[in-house]
Structure 1
Amino acid sequence: MVRIGTVVMGASDVRRAAEFWKAALGLVEREPAEEDWVVLVPAGGSGAGLALGLSDTPVQEVPRVHLDLYTGKQDAEVDRLIALGAVRVNWDLYPDDPDFVVLADPNTSDYRF
Protein backbone atom coordinates (compact mmCIF):
# COMPACT_ATOMS: atom_id res chain seq x y z
CA MET A 1 0.00 0.00 0.00
CA VAL A 2 1.26 3.47 -0.82
CA ARG A 3 0.24 6.82 0.65
CA ILE A 4 0.65 10.47 -0.25
CA GLY A 5 3.76 11.82 1.44
CA THR A 6 4.12 15.22 -0.18
CA VAL A 7 2.05 17.27 -2.59
CA VAL A 8 4.35 19.21 -4.94
CA MET A 9 3.27 22.53 -6.45
CA GLY A 10 4.99 25.07 -8.63
CA ALA A 11 5.31 28.65 -7.44
CA SER A 12 6.50 31.83 -9.07
CA ASP A 13 7.88 33.01 -5.70
CA VAL A 14 8.80 30.08 -3.46
CA ARG A 15 9.43 32.14 -0.32
CA ARG A 16 6.13 34.04 -0.60
CA ALA A 17 4.22 30.82 -1.28
CA ALA A 18 5.92 29.14 1.68
CA GLU A 19 4.97 31.96 4.03
CA PHE A 20 1.34 31.76 2.87
CA TRP A 21 1.06 27.97 3.24
CA LYS A 22 2.88 27.92 6.58
CA ALA A 23 0.41 30.46 7.97
CA ALA A 24 -2.61 28.89 6.24
CA LEU A 25 -2.00 25.29 7.32
CA GLY A 26 0.36 25.49 10.29
CA LEU A 27 3.23 23.92 8.37
CA VAL A 28 6.95 24.27 9.11
CA GLU A 29 10.02 24.01 6.90
CA ARG A 30 11.59 20.54 6.96
CA GLU A 31 14.93 22.20 6.14
CA PRO A 32 15.69 25.88 5.52
CA ALA A 33 14.08 27.10 2.28
CA GLU A 34 16.13 27.73 -0.81
CA GLU A 35 15.22 30.31 -3.46
CA ASP A 36 13.83 27.60 -5.71
CA TRP A 37 12.64 24.83 -3.35
CA VAL A 38 11.16 24.15 0.07
CA VAL A 39 9.42 21.20 1.71
CA LEU A 40 6.81 22.07 4.33
CA VAL A 41 5.59 19.49 6.82
CA PRO A 42 2.92 19.44 9.52
CA ALA A 43 4.21 20.99 12.75
CA GLY A 44 2.76 18.05 14.67
CA GLY A 45 4.72 15.56 12.60
CA SER A 46 1.95 13.54 10.91
CA GLY A 47 0.16 14.11 7.64
CA ALA A 48 1.12 14.99 4.09
CA GLY A 49 3.74 17.62 3.37
CA LEU A 50 3.67 20.36 0.77
CA ALA A 51 6.70 21.00 -1.44
CA LEU A 52 7.03 24.20 -3.45
CA GLY A 53 9.34 24.42 -6.43
CA LEU A 54 10.17 27.45 -8.53
CA SER A 55 8.22 27.38 -11.79
CA ASP A 56 7.91 29.76 -14.69
CA THR A 57 5.13 27.70 -16.28
CA PRO A 58 2.03 29.85 -16.83
CA VAL A 59 -0.79 29.26 -14.38
CA GLN A 60 -3.68 27.28 -15.88
CA GLU A 61 -7.02 29.08 -15.90
CA VAL A 62 -8.66 25.94 -14.52
CA PRO A 63 -5.92 23.91 -12.82
CA ARG A 64 -6.09 20.15 -13.13
CA VAL A 65 -5.08 19.69 -9.49
CA HIS A 66 -6.19 21.62 -6.44
CA LEU A 67 -6.29 21.20 -2.67
CA ASP A 68 -9.59 20.61 -0.89
CA LEU A 69 -9.29 22.13 2.58
CA TYR A 70 -11.82 21.24 5.28
CA THR A 71 -12.99 23.24 8.27
CA GLY A 72 -16.00 23.54 10.54
CA LYS A 73 -15.79 27.34 10.30
CA GLN A 74 -15.82 28.04 6.58
CA ASP A 75 -16.64 31.78 6.67
CA ALA A 76 -13.99 32.53 9.30
CA GLU A 77 -11.34 30.48 7.49
CA VAL A 78 -12.12 32.06 4.11
CA ASP A 79 -11.71 35.49 5.73
CA ARG A 80 -8.44 34.39 7.38
CA LEU A 81 -7.00 33.01 4.14
CA ILE A 82 -7.98 36.17 2.25
CA ALA A 83 -6.22 38.23 4.94
CA LEU A 84 -3.12 36.07 4.29
CA GLY A 85 -3.22 36.91 0.58
CA ALA A 86 -5.64 34.43 -1.02
CA VAL A 87 -8.21 35.82 -3.45
CA ARG A 88 -11.73 34.71 -4.33
CA VAL A 89 -12.00 33.16 -7.79
CA ASN A 90 -14.95 34.16 -9.95
CA TRP A 91 -15.58 30.56 -10.95
CA ASP A 92 -18.33 29.94 -13.50
CA LEU A 93 -18.66 26.25 -12.55
CA TYR A 94 -20.21 26.82 -9.11
CA PRO A 95 -23.36 24.75 -8.60
CA ASP A 96 -26.57 26.59 -7.65
CA ASP A 97 -26.02 26.04 -3.91
CA PRO A 98 -22.28 25.46 -3.38
CA ASP A 99 -20.93 24.17 -0.09
CA PHE A 100 -17.42 25.31 -1.01
CA VAL A 101 -15.54 28.47 -1.94
CA VAL A 102 -12.86 28.64 -4.62
CA LEU A 103 -9.82 30.65 -3.65
CA ALA A 104 -6.45 31.20 -5.29
CA ASP A 105 -3.29 31.42 -3.22
CA PRO A 106 -0.87 34.32 -3.73
CA ASN A 107 0.78 32.33 -6.53
CA THR A 108 -2.68 31.71 -8.04
CA SER A 109 -2.64 27.98 -7.40
CA ASP A 110 -6.31 27.10 -7.22
CA TYR A 111 -7.76 25.33 -4.21
CA ARG A 112 -11.20 24.99 -2.70
CA PHE A 113 -12.94 24.15 0.54
Structure 2
Amino acid sequence: MRVIPLTVQTPRRRVPRRAQRYAVNWAVTDINGRPARDSWLVDVSCMGARLDTAAALSPNMPIHFMVVLPDGETKLEVNGRVVWMRPVFATRGRYHQGIQFYGINWDLDRLARKESAG
Protein backbone atom coordinates (compact mmCIF):
# COMPACT_ATOMS: atom_id res chain seq x y z
CA MET A 1 0.00 0.00 0.00
CA ARG A 2 1.25 3.46 -0.89
CA VAL A 3 0.37 6.55 1.14
CA ILE A 4 -0.10 9.74 -0.80
CA PRO A 5 -0.15 12.92 1.26
CA LEU A 6 -3.08 15.17 0.57
CA THR A 7 -2.08 18.78 0.31
CA VAL A 8 -4.40 21.66 -0.17
CA GLN A 9 -3.20 23.88 -2.95
CA THR A 10 -4.38 27.42 -3.01
CA PRO A 11 -5.44 28.62 -6.42
CA ARG A 12 -3.02 30.98 -8.10
CA ARG A 13 -4.15 34.51 -8.65
CA ARG A 14 -5.02 35.27 -12.25
CA VAL A 15 -3.61 38.76 -11.88
CA PRO A 16 -0.77 39.69 -9.52
CA ARG A 17 -1.86 41.77 -6.53
CA ARG A 18 -1.21 45.45 -7.23
CA ALA A 19 -1.42 46.88 -3.71
CA GLN A 20 -0.28 45.82 -0.24
CA ARG A 21 -3.11 44.58 2.00
CA TYR A 22 -3.24 45.29 5.71
CA ALA A 23 -5.17 43.23 8.26
CA VAL A 24 -7.55 45.37 10.31
CA ASN A 25 -10.59 44.82 12.50
CA TRP A 26 -12.70 47.92 11.98
CA ALA A 27 -16.45 48.06 12.65
CA VAL A 28 -18.82 48.77 9.77
CA THR A 29 -21.91 50.61 11.02
CA ASP A 30 -24.03 50.78 7.89
CA ILE A 31 -24.07 49.36 4.38
CA ASN A 32 -26.02 51.14 1.64
CA GLY A 33 -27.88 53.26 4.18
CA ARG A 34 -28.99 50.34 6.38
CA PRO A 35 -27.62 49.45 9.81
CA ALA A 36 -24.96 46.73 9.59
CA ARG A 37 -24.85 44.74 12.79
CA ASP A 38 -21.77 42.62 13.45
CA SER A 39 -20.02 43.67 10.22
CA TRP A 40 -16.29 44.22 9.99
CA LEU A 41 -13.63 45.42 7.61
CA VAL A 42 -10.99 42.67 7.91
CA ASP A 43 -8.37 43.78 5.43
CA VAL A 44 -7.80 46.85 3.33
CA SER A 45 -5.53 48.27 0.66
CA CYS A 46 -5.60 51.51 -1.31
CA MET A 47 -7.64 49.75 -4.03
CA GLY A 48 -10.13 47.65 -2.09
CA ALA A 49 -11.16 45.84 1.06
CA ARG A 50 -12.65 42.64 2.43
CA LEU A 51 -15.81 42.81 4.51
CA ASP A 52 -17.04 40.16 6.94
CA THR A 53 -20.85 40.41 7.24
CA ALA A 54 -23.93 38.42 8.19
CA ALA A 55 -25.57 39.19 4.83
CA ALA A 56 -24.42 38.08 1.40
CA LEU A 57 -24.03 40.90 -1.10
CA SER A 58 -24.40 40.45 -4.85
CA PRO A 59 -21.32 40.76 -7.06
CA ASN A 60 -21.23 43.97 -9.16
CA MET A 61 -23.53 45.66 -6.64
CA PRO A 62 -22.57 49.25 -5.81
CA ILE A 63 -21.76 49.62 -2.13
CA HIS A 64 -21.51 52.57 0.23
CA PHE A 65 -20.48 51.83 3.80
CA MET A 66 -19.36 53.63 6.95
CA VAL A 67 -16.27 52.43 8.84
CA VAL A 68 -15.55 53.33 12.47
CA LEU A 69 -11.85 53.45 13.26
CA PRO A 70 -10.47 51.99 16.51
CA ASP A 71 -10.45 55.38 18.26
CA GLY A 72 -14.27 55.11 18.21
CA GLU A 73 -14.67 58.68 17.01
CA THR A 74 -13.39 58.75 13.45
CA LYS A 75 -15.79 57.55 10.76
CA LEU A 76 -14.97 57.13 7.09
CA GLU A 77 -17.40 56.80 4.20
CA VAL A 78 -16.29 54.32 1.55
CA ASN A 79 -17.72 53.76 -1.95
CA GLY A 80 -17.06 50.93 -4.35
CA ARG A 81 -18.54 47.79 -5.82
CA VAL A 82 -18.72 44.17 -4.69
CA VAL A 83 -16.44 42.06 -6.90
CA TRP A 84 -16.85 38.70 -5.15
CA MET A 85 -18.72 37.04 -2.28
CA ARG A 86 -17.84 33.82 -0.47
CA PRO A 87 -19.47 32.10 2.50
CA VAL A 88 -17.22 31.60 5.53
CA PHE A 89 -17.46 27.86 6.01
CA ALA A 90 -15.90 27.93 9.49
CA THR A 91 -18.64 30.28 10.74
CA ARG A 92 -22.17 29.55 9.64
CA GLY A 93 -24.14 32.56 8.42
CA ARG A 94 -21.07 34.72 7.71
CA TYR A 95 -19.88 36.01 4.35
CA HIS A 96 -16.74 37.66 3.03
CA GLN A 97 -17.15 40.26 0.33
CA GLY A 98 -14.37 41.65 -1.84
CA ILE A 99 -14.85 45.36 -2.45
CA GLN A 100 -13.15 47.36 -5.19
CA PHE A 101 -13.03 51.09 -4.51
CA TYR A 102 -14.10 53.42 -7.31
CA GLY A 103 -10.85 55.33 -6.91
CA ILE A 104 -7.61 54.83 -5.03
CA ASN A 105 -8.25 55.43 -1.32
CA TRP A 106 -4.96 56.61 0.17
CA ASP A 107 -6.62 57.62 3.46
CA LEU A 108 -7.67 54.06 4.29
CA ASP A 109 -4.31 52.72 3.13
CA ARG A 110 -2.42 55.19 5.34
CA LEU A 111 -4.58 54.46 8.40
CA ALA A 112 -4.31 50.69 7.94
CA ARG A 113 -0.53 50.89 7.47
CA LYS A 114 -0.24 53.01 10.62
CA GLU A 115 -2.34 50.55 12.65
CA SER A 116 -0.44 47.48 11.44
CA ALA A 117 2.90 49.13 12.28
CA GLY A 118 2.07 49.48 15.90
User: Which bin holds the TM-score, normalised by the shorter protein?
Assistant: under 0.3
Q: Return the structure number with greater helix share.
A: 1
Give the TM-score normalised by structure 1: 0.25
Give the TM-score normalised by structure 2: 0.25
Q: Return the structure number with greater strand share.
A: 2
Max Rg structure: 2
